[in-house]
Chains A and B, each alone.
Chain A
């Protein structure tokens, strides 16, 4: 008896999803028949990441305003999936592709394929080893330079620093480490006590900081975290241990939580990466490229240091 029940449920579920799928397909066709609408395929690194979602939301807004149809897919951090998604965009013969690459090397075949199919491909936010039609983003090395420079200035070029890495081996982690180390080299008085990964995660950053407090205690003068989530975790651990007043914490991204923390004075500074501008410039470039107009091969959006003094400007 029971299996029949279950089969019925499953069958109805399946048909429901199928119907929904048909619906969508139908509207898509209508859109294309009605007017010559530009279609841009978008593949994003991960729609679970707030910053990436912000970049995408701005693109969607700008696209709607310009009457461009956006097909967005989530690569879920898998470069393999991303390459397949670009292949399917090519098969659908979209007018332009915007890719937010998962990996420097592994996402590169997608660029090669799109260029071979003569579809302009724009990389947003991070790079691939093969040059796309255009790049819109910011230089991650610079963000870390800004953050570490702030620490150096605050400490007068002398003190003990801890660094919390993102996922080891990811482009953002590598570049942010590179930028931080460049500044450390300029200030021989700054000593890197320890560095360890917090995997971009607030709870992990917090645990790591708790353990470091046990190891180094009052020796710690400053912490640089590769992103705000981990920076906020470190702030929490330092506050709980009653050490926050003596330790400078700086991180990158300027997510809303971090801005609030900067305003409250718990996080000393964050580095603002402009998601809105990245999104809007990416879609602008894609439209120009699709229409065969001239466009910039590289658009670099500058970073900005956010401290208590200027945080009001960034809070919406």
Chain B
């Protein structure tokens, strides 16, 4: 969970703050483990391999979106259009995924391409204009929803081939494909963020844009890459969702952006940019999944589930603001 580069506008040395930061770093893990422990004491059905696999499967789509949005938030931006991109990519992929038409590579490739283009469009508008990402992606969120409805004529695109439905709904050696894809995506995203130059640039841009520019980093290139990447991951999530529920739905993914942003924030990504890790985001997404699964197992009504979830999000942000140096 190291950042690799420390991009705080650093006031050096406050030891109590480092201690608190330490709590944050391990606190999330601690909170996660203790919630799991509590749940496994209350209900014996929680801690079974089968149930854990179900949790990870259910979490995977939100986690993929959260990975994408983590990149964006680290650079100090935000992407509200991911839920709509899920719908666009899902509908586009489904259109090419009817049985006996194209090989399964085609719908996947075209769906991904749609997401990458959509993400690149976000990046283009954000870098070429001075409009804040919040507003640009608020706009493209609506545009995307409209596109999905236009492409599908407002109706779900059904009758998909078995090979397409296997991508998000099948199992390899007893392990659901979604889990395998999640692990691979997590690995790749972690490497991009923590081991590459472009990853370090993302932290630099989010930590201090002026300083990053002064040190010769091409801000617009970094941002273009980040939004395109986010679009690609959203498209992947959309294709997997479509495959899992065996239909491309124009209203799929509504509100997904909020869950994904919540996962990133719970995982310690600061909305002011410059901090965050993929591991944190993954645990954030898992935490959301574990809570909703656990509360379902205990048959708690969804009203309470929402209250619990909201409390956790605020708790995470409060912890984050306590930890940010130089706020006084």
Q: Give chain A's interface residues, CB within 8 Å of chain B.
A: 2-3, 6, 47-50, 53, 168, 194, 196-197, 202-203, 206-208, 210-212, 214-215, 232-233, 236, 240, 255-257, 260
Contacts and interface: CB of A to CB of B under 8 A. Distances in A.
B255 to A, nearest CB: 9
B134 to A, nearest CB: 18
A236 B245 contact: yes
B129 A214 contact: no
Interface string B29-50: 0000000000000010100101
Contacts of B296: 196, 208, 211-212, 215
Contacts of A233: 245
B245 A203 contact: yes
A81 B58 CA distance: 35
7 nearest CB pairs, A to B: A211-B296, A202-B245, A48-B251, A214-B51, A53-B154, A194-B299, A207-B58
Given A196-B299, A214-B48, A206 B244 contact: yes
Given A48-B251, A206-B245, A214 B45 contact: yes
Interface string B289-317: 00011001101011100000000000000
A211 B54 contact: yes
A50 B45 contact: no
B108 interface: no
B302 A197 contact: yes
Interface string B243-269: 011110111100000000000000000
Nearest to A255: B156
Given A2-B128, A208-B296, A214-B50, A168 B247 contact: no
Contacts of A207: 58, 292
Contact of A210 (B48, B58, B156, B158): B58
B302 A168 contact: yes
B236 to A, nearest CB: 16
B180 to A, nearest CB: 16
A254 to B, nearest CB: 14
Contacts of A203: 61, 241, 244-245, 252
A210 B55 CA distance: 9
A292 B311 CA distance: 57
A190 to B, nearest CB: 18
B155 interface: yes
Contacts of B149: 47-48
Interface residues of B, number: 35
B274 interface: no
Q: Which of A48, A206, A215 has the most CB of B within 10 A?
A: A48
A257 B50 contact: no
Given A256-B158, A257-B158, A6 B128 contact: yes
Interface of B: 43, 45, 48, 50-51, 54, 57-58, 61, 128-129, 149, 154-156, 158-159, 169, 241, 244-247, 249-252, 292-293, 296-297, 299, 301-303
A212 B303 CA distance: 17
Contacts of B251: 48-49
A210 B245 contact: no
Q: Which of B159, B169, B251 has the most CB of A within 10 A?
A: B251
Contacts of A47: 149, 154
B158 A260 contact: yes
Contacts of B50: 214
B154 A236 contact: no
A232 B165 CA distance: 14
B297 A214 contact: yes
A257 B156 contact: yes
A214 B245 CA distance: 19
A214 B299 CA distance: 12
Contacts of B129: 3, 6
A202 B158 contact: no
A162 to B, nearest CB: 10
Contact of B156 (A50, A168, A196): A50
A50 B154 CA distance: 7
A20 to B, nearest CB: 15
Contacts of B303: 168
Nearest to B289: A207
B249 A202 contact: yes
Contacts of A212: 296
Contacts of A232: 245
Given A210-B57, A255-B156, 13 more contacts: A48-B149, A48-B154, A196-B296, A196-B301, A196-B302, A202-B245, A202-B247, A207-B292, A212-B296, A214-B48, A214-B54, A215-B299, A236-B169
A211 B293 contact: yes
